[in-house]
Amino acid sequence: MTSALENWLGRAAEVALTTFVLVGFAALVVFLGHGEVSTFVLPAAIALAIGLQWWRRAKAPAPTPTPTPMAGDSLWLLAAATLLVGVAVLLTWGALATASRTWDGAAMWDPKSALLAARMTLEQTAFRDAGVYLHSRDYPLLQPVLVAAIERLAGCGRVLFPLVFVVHCTLLFTVLRRVGAGVRAAAIAAVGFALTPMVLSPGGGGVDSGYAEALLSLAVTASVSGLVLKDRLLVVVGIALLTWTKPEGGLYASVVVMLAWLGRERRVVLSATAGWAIAMTLWLVLQRDLQSLGRGSFAWSIPLVVAMVGVAVVVSHRLLASRRAKGITLVAVVVVAAVGVPFLLQHFEVGGGVFAGYLQSPARLLERLTLAPQILGGVANWAWLRGRFGIAFVLVVVVAVCARNGLTREPLRWLACMVVVVALPFLLAPFDDLASHMRATMPRLLCHHLGVAWLVVGLAWVGVPAARAPRAAPAVAAPSP
């Protein structure tokens, strides 16, 4: 009974993630064609996602979660589920009671959701007329599109936020079970994530605040889970969600490709690169369309450059497998990336783009290097003490120092990369007061990686004898079909 329920939960989480991506994909394509998205995009995407899941499972049946649930596990599962449902009810109330009550939600995301709910097209004055006030016109549109799609169909668009929370908790639980965590370990990790004060807080970055942090955090967890499980669907879905949700998501998606590239699974590298190339091309072309108010010509350079990067990733991955070429390949890639990435980011922006403010004076990075210890101290301070993350990131340090295993490698690599990525905006951003900038931004940036932190904790228990861990036993990750 428990195994069947777990399989069902795993499939439901994947269907939800795939639906988000399919809706986003359809909307981006229609927007690029200057058309209007149908109200039925959501049911069509759900049907397609269920079909895809059925095909996936028919091709390779879902493995029975290991270790097999034991007596008493049903009670743990019931307790965790009851708690999560209770929290989800609280968040649903918070999300539906009013529109967004805090800054980014009210200023940036809600107006776009309302415009798209009225007419799901960019061919309207607010998007196409520079004279009309629209905050961050060239920001990624996935969250407003999803809210609008639900609003048009069911009249409760903001139910997306608690739904994202439920999918996130379910994903954490089922991924941990798939790699062999015990029911209790997986449940503790999912509940630990759900009860983190930052997640539950009504303020900015909380699930029901209307910010896009919850969706981006889910995308991060899906991507890293895909890398752990070698599950190509999760990797691709995660990359697409990252790219289309927030500007920094494009950077995260590139890091996912980099981590896949550092791994040995060629099929994962191919899937991640293909997903990244499609998601990036769609978004960068649409972003340019938004910046030019729909009047620019199609920028062929974007798919061309993205395709070139994709080919370089795949070819260099083959070279990386060669012992003789490994060193020189790594050096070449680091040099090309250090020069090429800032160039590409600048090239794809039209004047006031999202990254333009950060990249307009790259020399600032060198000037600010003396602030690096202060900024890294700030990352630690907000992660461990002030960021309302409980002790989630403290547990990550405990695992990294004392309890690493083969499964925690990818998530720990991710978090190590993210220390740099989180610090980077503070080295590049145009601001006068570092302390206030960190106070405003740092908790939200760290919030994106909270799911991965709990994934690390859960994975550390895999392989621990049952007497010492919350019901875990050695297991083998199930590869994706």
Q: Choose one: 9-17, 49-57, 399-407, 427-435; the region binding other proteins (CB under 8 A).
A: 399-407
Q: Is the C-alpha dihedral spanning 281, 282, 288, 294 positive or negative?
A: positive
Cβ atoms of residues 388 and 337 within 8 Å: no
Residue 121: phi and psi, rounded to 5, are: -150, 155
Complex with other proteins: residue 122 or 395, whichever CB lies closer: 395
Nearest distance from C-beta of residue 105 to other proteins, angstroms: 9
Q: Which residues from 23-62 bind other proteins, rule CB under 8 A?
A: none
CB of 463 to other proteins, least distance (A): 4
Q: How far apart are CA 174 and CA 53, in angstroms?
A: 15
> Binding string to other proteins for residues 88 to 117, with x set by CB under 8 A, is what?
--x--xx--xxxxxxx--xxx-xx--x---
With CB under 8 A as the contact rule, the residue among 82, 125, 360, 436 that binds other proteins is: 125
Measured from the CB of residue 263, what is the shortest distance to other proteins in angstroms? 13
Residue count of the chain = 481
We find the least distance from the C-beta atom of residue 151 to other proteins, in angstroms, to be 13
CB of 155 to other proteins, least distance (A): 17
- One-letter amino acid of 375: I
The answer to whether residue 87 forms part of the interface with other proteins (CB under 8 A) is: yes
Among residues 17, 240, 392, 421, the one that binds other proteins under rule CB under 8 A:
392
Instruction: Quote the crossing angle between the two packed helices 142-154 and 232-245, to the nearest 10°.
Output: 100
Site for other proteins in 365-384 (CB under 8 A): none
Distance CA 302, CA 306 (A): 6
Within 197-216, the residues that bind other proteins by CB under 8 A are 197, 200-202
CB of 319 to other proteins, least distance (A): 26
Half-sphere exposure of 195 (CA within 13 A, CB side): 13
Closest approach, Cβ 433 to other proteins, in A, equals 15
Interface with other proteins (CB under 8 A), residue from 4, 60, 75, 118? 118
Backbone angles phi, psi at 208, to 5 degrees: -95, 15
Q: Minimum distance between the CB of residue 396 and other proteins, rounded to whole angstroms?
A: 10
3-state secondary structure of 460: helix
Of 39, 82, 405, 436, the one binding other proteins by CB under 8 A: 405
Nearer to other proteins, 22 or 189 (CB): 189
What mask, x for binding other proteins by CB under 8 A, covers residues 254 to 283?
------------------------------
Omega within 30 of 0 (cis) for the link into 67:
yes
Asked if residues 247 and 140 have their Cβ atoms less than 8 Å apart, the reply is yes
Applying CB under 8 A, which part among 245-253, 316-324, 345-353, 395-403 lies near other proteins?
A: 395-403
Q: Considering beta carbons, is residue 133 or 300 the nearer one to other proteins?
A: 133
Q: How many residues contact other proteins, by CB under 8 A?
A: 67
Question: How far apart are alpha carbons 52 and 461 in whole angstroms?
Answer: 32
Q: Which of residues 172-201 bind other proteins (CB under 8 A)?
A: 179-180, 188-189, 191-192, 194-197, 200-201
Q: What number of CA atoms fall less than 13 Å from residue 364's CA on the CB side?
A: 15
Residue 473, class by beta-carbon neighbours within 10 Å (0-12 exposed, 13-18 middle, 19+ buried)? middle
- Out of 42, 407, 418, 455, the only residue in the binding site for other proteins (CB under 8 A) is 407
* Token code pair at residue 275: 């997903």
Count other C-beta atoms under 10 Å from residue 380's C-beta: 12
Going from the C-alpha of 23 to that of each of 38, 159, 208, 273, 378, the distances in angstroms are 10, 16, 21, 21, 38
Instruction: Bin 11: left if φ > 0, else alpha if -120 < ψ < 50, else beta.
Output: alpha
Give whichever of 196 and 271 is closer to other proteins, judged by the CB atom.
196
Stretch that binds other proteins, among 129-137, 238-246, 371-379, 422-430 (CB under 8 A): 129-137
Identify the DSSP state of 369. Answer: G
Does position 351 interact with other proteins (CB under 8 A)? The reply is no
221 Cβ neighbours under 8 A, 6+ residues apart: 168, 171, 172, 238, 451, 452, 455
Lay out the site mask for other proteins across 299-328 (x = CB under 8 A, - = otherwise).
Answer: ------------------------------
* Residue 237 CA, distance from chain mean position: 9
Q: In the range 416-475, which residues lie near other proteins by CB under 8 A?
A: 457, 460-465, 468-470, 474-475
Minimum CB distance to other proteins smaller for 10 or for 192: 192
Closest of 467, 434, 466, 468 to residue 180, by C-alpha: 466
Instruction: Please tell me whether residue 130 binds other proteins under the rule CB under 8 A.
Output: yes
Taking residue 215's Cβ as centre, other Cβ atoms within 10 Å add up to 27
Using CB under 8 A, list all residues that contact other proteins: 87, 90, 93-94, 97-103, 106-108, 110-111, 114, 118, 125-126, 129-135, 179-180, 188-189, 191-192, 194-197, 200-202, 390-392, 394-395, 398-399, 402-407, 457, 460-465, 468-470, 474-477
